[in-house]
Structure 1
């Protein structure tokens, strides 16, 4: 049986620390490849292969399909390490790697199609609900055009967002449709200020048939009652769908901020300013690096604490309180903005030298700024929703 052949045994699973170390060992080569990735608007294929060989994409993948079923905290630690080398790599690792978790929420027939012939299969996505659907026998006819499909050129499958037929007033019946590459056209549109190597191109689907079992609704993920829970019974797959995904598009900013901090300290330690003073002795520079280091620690601590809380609930078979879920989403959404604000101060420490493209400062800053443009990182929107709930308003958001 294919499933039995793919299933890993405990002795074959590396430790969390080993996986993070494998990611950290890639940092030098990721820095070397960064310019080539930016020029191609695509993370180079060698990097994808390196991550596969290191087992990094398997962190959240079900054991029964060749994965490791580890804590999301390990997943995000790997993501931050990769983002220290190149935030574009950390970004696509987050949004691709998290799909190996979401596929476990689908009917198991979907996971079988994805993994049975290739346990290293890659799923790209864009969850914007732009898909036009028509109910037909056994499933749906599905068409649309979507933006921002990160890592699309490396994918064999796609998660694409759409509204299910019959969605009415109130909370729309949004969800994810699993589409094979052969039904997808990739349109090269990605020419951007930052995150250039993510290759977040447009994708088009024209009248594809999607069987029922290759769909998953946001409501199922919100209620932690998905078809895949029947076979993937571990606590990992009883975490709220929205919470796991949201952190996949904010956490790379933390790793990139660490990279910028490292670069500024190394540069400033030996730099004399235009008027003879040492950067390392400038109190404003000292404050900037102190603020960056403290911000990184604060953001990591919040990430770990939030997932400790959710993992305890998952292990107990309970659901986190709505107020906690709203707060967790807001805290995730503000990561990119907080990192960008601190990164801008670090960039000033580099002075005029920071403007030169041969140095890493401007590129890292542009990447962090670009990460904040994702809707999931719109802290104003999600902060207002959290605040409104504290005032007693009824929450309508189910991507939590």
Structure 2
């Protein structure tokens, strides 16, 4: 696999990674049903994706990564999720964590990747645990939920807050090794069942040095310690835009998988009640057109927005607030379109589509489960855009 050298993103190498990932899609699809039954993406799938270079796409060149244009990452993820929603989901978030670690102080990056650049990180950002600021760092304990892919990772990003004497809130992401936490297997859901999004538990307070933390204020201002050692343009992008898109793209892949499954089944399906082949049903034709257009529109908007953000970063320009708000608007509506297009297919697929052996119902359950992620709350994201359009103040950590 080609790698970037000396802070220069390797776009040609990234394109090769995307092709290598696409080559894995058929076998990932064959494993999807078994992964769901096991409640875990197979180790061999994660290893093969790692060998293909997927997790290096957004990793700094200093650690053998490609520091590539994020469009490569999203293109690869969408292809994976077409075959298996759960594999696409955990691959997306694990991959973007390599991007986030590049924003941390250099010592934190060395702590994780110094001995093994292939080390992976999971996350749980909601500040549900207890954090206390102490000399040189923080004491942490408690429980964090929904850590997708945690069984495939050796470190975790955990969210937390501390409070100053004046009441000021310091919200941060903290980096902790698996040696100090345990995974409590409790992910039992309708969809995305193989993501293994279990709880992470720190039973007794553990010390986290300050260099293993990153303030949301720094990430929002695009002024992070990691910028001093990772100069590639991709690290000048906002967390709010990059991460939220990371949870929408696999759902678009799921919607594409549902669409193709519906097309394949409909070509052979016969509706006894009407004595008609469904392939000749004009109402099915309309649903196909609407579903295809919805997914295409969502993907085209994401491509445009990512390209514009990256262009500003390459030129060293400040990202306009209008663009950051548009990224969130189109991301959350992209998720909405993924859900609605999948619903269009399932509503017209007949009772057999709800059998456990039928892949269409798995796509349907996966896309609805992914919709529940906090980044996919449409009212919150759309309100931000509306306020910005009207010239009102906008303050949010997810832009």
Common topology (TM > 0.5): yes
Partner of 2:229: 231
Alignment of 1:180 onto 2:181: no
State how 1:275-294 maps to structure 2 within 5 Å. 275-294=274-293
Q: Which moved more, 1:365-374 or 1:352-361?
A: 352-361
Alignment of 1:267 onto 2:256: no
Partner of 1:200: 197
Alignment of 1:336 onto 2:335: yes
Q: Which moved more, 1:264-273 or 1:127-136?
A: 127-136
RMSD over equivalenced CA pairs, Å:
1.9
Partner of 2:120: 122
SS at structure 2 position matched to 1:395 = coil
Partner of 2:43: 45
Q: 2:52 aligns with which of 33, 54, 57?
A: 54
The 2-side partners of 1:210 and 1:320 are apart by: 32
TM-score between the two structures when normalised by the length of structure 1 = 0.94
Instruction: Tell me if structure 2 keeps the 8 A contact 1:37–1:44.
Output: yes
Partner of 1:77: 75
SS at structure 1 position matched to 2:356 = coil
Q: 1:220 and 1:334, CA in 2 relative to 1: closer, same or farther beyond 3 A? A: same
Instruction: Tell me if structure 1 keeps the 8 A contact 2:71–2:303.
Output: yes
Unaligned runs of 5+ in 2: none
User: Residue 11 of structure 1: CA displacement?
Assistant: 12
Instruction: Tell me if structure 1 keeps the 8 A contact 2:103–2:227.
Output: yes
**CA offsets 1:97-127 (integer angstroms, 9 cap, x no match):** 0010011100011111111111111100011
Q: 1:234 and 1:17, CA in 2 relative to 1: closer, same or farther beyond 3 A? A: closer
**CA offsets 1:112-151 (integer angstroms, 9 cap, x no match):** 1111111111100011122322222211111121110000
The 2-side partners of 1:134 and 1:169 are apart by: 14
SS at structure 1 position matched to 2:214 = strand
The 2-side partners of 1:142 and 1:334 are apart by: 36
Instruction: Tell me if structure 1 keeps the 8 A contact 2:18–2:72.
Output: yes
Instruction: Tell me if structure 2 keeps the 8 A contact 1:142–1:208.
Output: yes
Partner of 1:137: 135
SS at structure 2 position matched to 1:76 = helix
Instruction: Tell me if structure 1 keeps the 8 A contact 2:96–2:246.
Output: yes
**CA offsets 1:16-42 (integer angstroms, 9 cap, x no match):** 332222222222211221122112221
Alignment of 1:323 onto 2:336: no
Q: Which moved more, 1:92-101 or 1:306-315?
A: 306-315
What is the total number of aligned residue pairs between the two structures? 394
Instruction: Tell me if structure 2 keeps the 8 A contact 1:167–1:173.
Output: no
Q: Which moved more, 1:292-301 or 1:72-81?
A: 292-301
The 1-side partners of 2:257 and 2:144 are apart by: 32
User: Residue 214 of structure 1: CA displacement?
Assistant: 0.6
The 2-side partners of 1:107 and 1:115 are apart by: 13
The 2-side partners of 1:11 and 1:242 are apart by: 22
Alignment of 1:350 onto 2:349: yes
Partner of 2:360: 361
Partner of 2:93: 95
**CA offsets 1:298-319 (integer angstroms, 9 cap, x no match):** 1111111111111121122222
Partner of 1:3: none
Partner of 1:211: 209
State how 1:58-69 maps to structure 2 within 5 Å. 58-69=56-67
User: Residue 388 of structure 1: CA displacement?
Assistant: 2.7
The 2-side partners of 1:245 and 1:394 are apart by: 23
The 2-side partners of 1:168 and 1:73 are apart by: 42
Q: 1:11 and 1:164, CA in 2 relative to 1: closer, same or farther beyond 3 A? A: closer
Unaligned runs of 5+ in 1: 1-5
User: Residue 13 of structure 1: CA displacement?
Assistant: 7.8
Instruction: Tell me if structure 2 keeps the 8 A contact 1:218–1:399.
Output: no
